[in-house]
Structure 1
Amino acid sequence: MKKKPLKARIVETSLVMFEKHGYHGVTVDQIVEECGTSKGGFYHNFKSKDELLYNIHDVFISYVLDRAKEAYDNYSTPTSRLCAIILSFTKVFDLYKPHITVFYQESTYLKGDFQEKINAKRDEYRKIILRVIREGQENGDFRPEVSAEITTMAIIGMVNWTYKWFKKDGELSIEKIGEIFNDLLVHALVTEKGMENQDIHTYLLKSQLISE
């Protein structure tokens, strides 16, 4: 089996150590010893331990942001866009669960420019969801009486909590969990008019969120 690049091995090692001992409970010396490299190898890939923590955060935040942009571009209705965004958001907890766990445990230690960059991406992601909801309300597909801002934060909060309880060997796959989230949102947010839209109806049938 081909050996993973050093940068990937450093990240994997630090994820385990940060999760177990905390960010300030682990030194660069301990990381390189556990990883089987040198401090030179570490600093060739990361300027500091802070940059390593930033990299851990940035990987999964960049992933969900890129997938949200793709969903917005690839689908034409607010409902299909929102469902695609939620599915990709949910999948991140299977792909990057260790990164996310460390993020929630250690995010307070991210400072300065690193913190600003991460917060900017999180805010951009929130605005994409908010935009989709507002567009759905404007065209009559989503209920207008609910707050778009609160709905956005409710969606993010609901899906974010997945990291606490999701298990790869659990009864439900991450894809099925994403479908359940979408089922809840569609039946809480989409209007009767929205359900009658042929493009939306076809998408919901394909996603098994409604029956024939």
Structure 2
Amino acid sequence: MPAVTPDESAESSVPRRLLAVATRLFAEKGFDRTSVQEIVDAANVTKGAMYHYFDSKDDLLAEIYARVLRLQMSRLAEIARQDGPVAERVRRAAADVVVSTIDNLDDATISFRSLHQLSPAKQREVRDERRRYHELFRSLITEGQERGVFTDRVPADIVVDFYFGSVHHLSTWYHPEGALSPQQIGDHYADLLLTALQSA
């Protein structure tokens, strides 16, 4: 593997710095109350450098959402393609999305509060990415229903919408100093989902 030169390392760190700073500022102040100038000043880059990587503040917000979703999608795809009982795969997937959301709580907070402020085109992109994730998760529910492992009294679409509605609200109440660890909360969420899906 070729060595990375200092210039290449510095170059690649610019978008990471911009995203790190934007994430902190958006979480602290809100997307609409954070200016591009504040972001570039805190990241110690010029506006020209920012616009080299991101066309707008919208792009920063969309990428903050997308990077967590990419992580979650990768982990869900790995769980979905594994062998083993479908109920266990659903349990792992359900707990994982809770844990990964808590592990990226600033991103989740920003997404919950600010995604509606994206341009219509960016909102469509975000919805498309989220829909692909939900569709893969739903395919596990459907598999369990078809095998008779899960009840089919409630359509899989509604099950998925209900579950992720709860997950998306984590940022409104979770506190790191709470009594339960992220994994414990994830396990409780997964238990609730599996209990609701139990076949009669």
Q: State TM-score, norm by structure 1.
A: 0.81
Which residue pairs with 1:20 in the alignment?
28
Question: Counterpart amino acid of 2:129?
Answer: K
Unaligned stretches of 5+ residues in structure 1: 193-212
Q: How much has 1:98 moved relative to structure 2?
A: 0.7
Which residue pairs with 1:129 in the alignment?
137
Q: Whole-Å Cα distance in 2 between the matches of residues 62 and 8 of structure 1? A: 16
Choose 14-23 or 29-38, whichever is displaced more: 14-23
Question: Counterpart amino acid of 2:41?
Answer: E
Q: Over residues 122-171 of structure 1, what are the superposed CA-to-partner deviations in whole Å (9 max), with x where a residue is unaligned?
A: 11112122221121111110012223222111111122221212222321
Which residue pairs with 1:110 in the alignment?
118
How many residue pairs end up in the alignment?
A: 191
Q: Whole-Å Cα distance in 2 between the matches of residues 49 and 105 of structure 1? A: 15
Following TM superposition, where does structure 1 have runs of at least 4 consecutive aligned residues deviating by more than 6 angstroms?
none
Structure 1 residues 42-57: aligned runs within 5 Å:
42-57=50-65
* Local SS of the residue matching 1:60: helix
Q: How much has 1:112 moved relative to structure 2?
A: 4.3
RMSD: 2.1
Q: Whole-Å Cα distance in 2 between the matches of residues 182 and 105 of structure 1? A: 25
* Local SS of the residue matching 1:62: helix
Q: Over residues 75-108 of structure 1, what are the superposed CA-to-partner deviations in whole Å (9 max), with x where a residue is unaligned?
A: 4332122112112201122221111111111111
Task: Point out which structure has higher relative CO (alpha carbons under 8 A, 6+ apart).
Answer: 2
Residues 29 and 39, structure 1, Cα contact 8 Å, conserved in 2: yes
Residues 108 and 168, structure 2, Cα contact 8 Å, conserved in 1: no
Q: State TM-score, norm by structure 2.
A: 0.85
Identity %: 25
